[in-house]
Amino acid sequence: MEKSSKNSVILVTGASDGIGRELCLLYAESGAKLVLAARNQNSLEDLAKECERMGAEALAVRTDVSSPEDCKKLMERAVERFGRIDILINSAGVSMSAPFESLQDLSVFQKLMNVNYLGVVHTSYYALPHLKKSQGLIVNLSSLQGKTGFPRSTGYSASKFAVQGFSDSLRIELMGTGVDVLVVSPGPIATKMNFRKFDANGIIAQEEDSKAAKRNIMSPEECARLIARSISKRERELVMTFGGKLIPWIRLFAPAFVDRMIASAVEKFYSED
Ligand SMILES: NC(=O)c1ccc[n+]([C@@H]2O[C@H](COP(=O)([O-])OP(=O)(O)OC[C@H]3O[C@@H](n4cnc5c(N)ncnc54)[C@H](OP(=O)(O)O)[C@@H]3O)[C@@H](O)[C@H]2O)c1
């Protein structure tokens, strides 16, 4: 990873926090040229300074990925500063936790699609001409919830299925161009996303940190390392956790069993305190 990313221009959305932030720090160690995108400009500026202290070059660009104009400008700023884009990592995302029938505000579905799905479409569209020149890579953060449905997550899961379908289709269109598409499907990762989700009223609800901290789930550092390994091998899919890898196979002959397994895992997740 270290040698191949030394001079690479790596653009990360959702860089201000969580998995995106960890990926930036990981690539900063190897002296990459980083473009950091998210809405929180202060967090981006702080991260850019941290990456530069580690030996990387970093450019912070305030971006709302649900805006096509912002994404167009993001790519222009990246190319203006570094001359090219080698890897686009789409990590920006928002989540939800509410049973479908409890929803009081259906705009949650629009918001989830705008960020999780259309955000990926916007950045991919405007980065593509540059990625074709560099024979680069698009990395889309999906989820195990983009492989199979999860309760309390109808809108989130649907947005991640959309990311999977978009990525698989684009990969075929790009055959022979030298541009590859990697879809990453993590299980639960210990980031703020796990206690910062749209609730039934369409408001981002904050669960107590202490409750979330007790959950024994993969760290964002480990998640970032696994992603970087898949990037260096230019893989097309990274499905995290043993259970996650098994789900598609078990679903072939026992789909109702998978549903029950997921229902009980989600119930356990929310009852742990
Ligand atoms: N954590 C998990 O358990 C988990 C599991 C499977 C998949 N994933 C996926 O992994 C990705 C990263 O998740 P995470 O856990 O790192 O989440 P996180 O810690 O909540 O970070 C989300 C990032 O997305 C950015 N973001 C949100 N809305 C945005 C917008 N409209 N425009 C630009 N940036 C936006 C946030 O920054 P600003 O608020 O500054 O914009 C933040 O940097 C997401 O796509 C998520 O769906 C996460």
Residue 265 lies in a domain: no
For residue 210, what pLDDT is reported? 56
- Domain contains 253: no
Which of 115, 153, 191 should be mutated for ligand 1, with most atoms under 8 A from CB?
A: 191
Helix (H/G/I), strand (E/B), else coil: 241: coil
Q: Could you tell me the sign of the dihedral formed by the alpha carbons of 61, 63, 67, 71, in that order?
A: positive
Residue 84 lies in a domain: yes
Q: Distance from the CA of 83 to the center of ligand 1, in angstroms?
A: 27
pTM: 0.96
Among protein residues, the one whose CA lies closest to atom 2 of ligand 1: 189
Whether 231 is in a domain gets the answer yes
pLDDT tens digit at each of 273 positions of the chain: 544 677 899 999 999 999 999 999 999 999 999 999 999 999 999 999 999 999 999 999 999 999 999 999 999 999 999 999 999 999 999 999 999 999 999 999 999 999 999 999 999 999 999 999 999 999 999 999 999 999 999 999 999 999 999 999 999 999 999 999 999 999 999 999 988 898 988 888 776 655 655 667 999 999 999 999 999 999 999 999 998 999 989 999 999 999 999 999 899 888 865
**What CATH number corresponds to the domain at position 195?**
3.40.50.720
Residue 207: the pLDDT is 65
Query: Ligand 1, atom 5: nearest CA belongs to which residue?
Result: 188
Residue to mutate, 189, 222, 239, ligand 1, most ligand atoms under 8 Å from C-beta: 189
Domains in the chain, number: 1
The pLDDT assigned to 155 comes to 98
Neighbour count for residue 79 (Cβ, 10 Å): 18
In angstroms, rounded to a whole number, what is the distance separating the alpha carbons of residues 163 and 169?
Answer: 10
Residue 113 lies in a domain: yes
Task: Tell me how far apart the alpha carbons of residues 130 and 52 are, in angstroms, rounded to a whole number.
Answer: 24
pLDDT at residue 213, as a whole number: 58
36 SS3 class: strand
User: Residue 108: which domain range?
Assistant: 9-241
Is 163 a pocket residue for ligand 1 (Cβ < 6 Å)?
no
Asked if residue 184 belongs to a domain, the reply is: yes
Residue whose Cα lies nearest atom 43 of ligand 1: it is 14
Q: Which pLDDT score is estimated for 209?
A: 56
Query: Does residue 71 belong to any structural domain of this protein?
Result: yes
Per-residue pLDDT, 3: 46
The answer to whether the CB of 38 is under 6 A from ligand 1 is yes
Instruction: Tell me the sheet residues that pair with 238.
Output: 184
Taking the centre of ligand 1 as the mean of its atom positions, its distance from the CA of residue 176, in whole angstroms, is: 31
The residues annotated as belonging to the active site are 156
Quick one: pLDDT at residue 6? 78
258 is a domain residue: no
Cβ of 11 closer than 6 Å to ligand 1, yes or no, is no
Q: What is the pLDDT of residue 2?
A: 44
